[in-house]
Amino acid sequence: MLTVLRNRTYRHLFTAQLVALIGTGLATVALSLLAYSIAGRNASAVLGTALAIKMVAYVTIAPIAGALAGRIPRRTLMVGMDLTRAGVALTLPFVDRVWQIYVLIFLLQAASAAFTPTFQATIPDVLPAERDYTQALSMSRLAYDFESLFSPALAALLLSVVSYDWLFAGTATGFLASAALVVSAVLPKPRPVERGGGLYRKAAFGTRLFRATPRLRALLALDLAVAAAGAIVFVNTVNVVRDHFHRPAGAVSLALGAYGVGSMLTALLLPRLLARVSDRSVMLPAAFALPCVLAAVTAITAAPAGTGSWLALLVTWALVGAASSAVLTPGGRVIRRSAADPDLPAAFAAQFSLSHGCWLLTYPLAGWLAAGAGLPTTAVVLGTIALAAALSATTLWPTRDPDALSHLHTDLPAGHPHLADAHPTPTGAWQHGHHYVIDQHHPTWPHPHRAALN
């Protein structure tokens, strides 16, 4: 898998992603301490609101950023967002009001919502070979998992010698290093977008792409399944560990680490697996594994407090991480084959926005249900959502899903360049076949019974 790092441009971009993620991890720890110093016992409410603001920023800003990506050079956009994030990080230690935290968090996450989809859309241009791109997706998943394990440990080490304010300096350093690495990378020039229209139309195109493409609608359902299972890990782990198992605070990190280990091991195995089987064959079974694992969570949390197997919980959390990674990692491949190269920024921006919309639903649901109805009920409800999402994805994603589809054109005149290899039909339409994606010449998906090319 590490062979893709021989590509200098990708090596710089991957390192930029990694150091920015570590900086973000340090900011997460520092923000918790900052919220406590300002709000005291209300720190949880402050952090909960900040998390909601983060998701709102992701959902609303990413589509606009995807539209701007066609107007602004990608390097300029990514470096600008890194510098913005560094500036916000350096400002956070000086706030003394809760509302100031909210404003700065929105700016920070809005910049991330612009940076991440642009970064994701650049990688297919840097690594056009399918095998290399698959390895890059696994590397990206490993970067996220490594950050989840490394950043808390680094923060604990730094806090032993400096105050939490200095963690924000580490965050800014990570973003500045990311900007420098992006500047040093030689990025391929993307092909210009042929699609016309204003900013709103360009921003809406990614969402329309998902709505019109069967496999992308399935991908959104799979994102919901992952969000349902992931919410119980990220929101309820502290209650499961402290209230049910009566374990010390350090055990929370151990449980979250088990999730990260499961995700990392899966990401390491996926490139070889995806070289032999289709994305659908990996992602759908993994999605169905999630409600099964949540059924185990129901059994674990339904036992009397203080009983049950601590090892079983760690294994369960690792399985959630493994199944989630098996769903999320190939997602970039699905998007890549479903959009024309110039439309990749809009496609990744839409996926970024819509997937975080799923988390915006499941995060508060996991919190409210746990507080009002208890952890077993929470696991049942989220498991039901995950099962419904997996079933929906199976229905939406055709079993036979070739790239090349035969289709008709009724709205293009004879002699149009796009019809160079087409032949007329008795009805006056033109028919041909090629790698089919939604674009200006193909606004709808062909009828499934007569679309596939043999």
**How far is the C-alpha of 156 from the C-alpha of 162, rounded, in Å?**
10
Burial 63-86 (b: 16+ CB within 10 A, else e): bbbbbbbbeeebbebbbebbbbbb
**How far is the C-alpha of 160 from the C-alpha of 340, rounded, in Å?**
50
Q: What is the pTM of this model?
A: 0.82
Q: Write down the pLDDT at residue 114.
A: 86
* Spatial contact of 301 and 240, defined as CB atoms under 8 Å apart: yes
> What residue ranges of the chain have pLDDT lower than 50?
452-454
pLDDT in tens, 251-307: 877 888 888 889 989 988 998 999 999 999 999 999 999 999 999 999 999 988 766
CATH superfamily of 1-190: MFS general substrate transporter like domains (1.20.1250.20)
Q: Write down the pLDDT at residue 452.
A: 47
Q: Write down the pLDDT at residue 83.
A: 96
List the end-to-end C-alpha distance of the chain, in Å, as a whole number.
Answer: 34
Q: Write down the pLDDT at residue 177.
A: 95
Going from N- to C-terminal start, the domains of the chain cover 1-190, 203-330+358-400
pLDDT in tens, 137-150: 888 888 877 777 77
CATH superfamily of 203-330+358-400: MFS general substrate transporter like domains (1.20.1250.20)
**The two domains 1-190 and 203-330+358-400 share their CATH topology (first three levels equal):** yes
Q: Write down the pLDDT at residue 378.
A: 92
